[in-house]
Amino acid sequence: MGVKSRPPEIDCNHHENGIFKICIAKIASLSDPHKLKGEEFLMKIRDYRDIPTTAPMPGVSKRVPIGPEEGAPNFIMRVFEISPGHTSPDHAHAWEHEIFVLAGQGSARDKDGKETPIGEGTTVFIPGGENHCLINRGTDDLRIICMIPTGAEETQQIALPRSC
pLDDT digits (tens, 9 = 90+) for 62-108: 999 999 988 889 999 999 999 999 999 898 888 899 999 999 999 99
Provide the domain count of the chain. 2
| Residue 150 and residue 73 in one domain | yes
Q: Taking the model in full, what pTM does it have?
A: 0.73
Per-residue pLDDT at 34: 47
| Residue 37 and residue 93 in one domain | no
Q: Is residue 25 part of a domain?
A: yes
- The amino acid at residue 60 is V
The H-or-E segment that residue 13 falls in is: none
Residue 94 belongs to what domain range? Answer: 48-159
pLDDT digits (tens, 9 = 90+) for 111-159: 899 999 999 999 999 999 999 999 999 999 999 999 999 988 766 556 5
Q: Is the pLDDT of residue 7 over 50?
A: no
Range of lowest pLDDT (23-37, 40-54, 60-74): 23-37
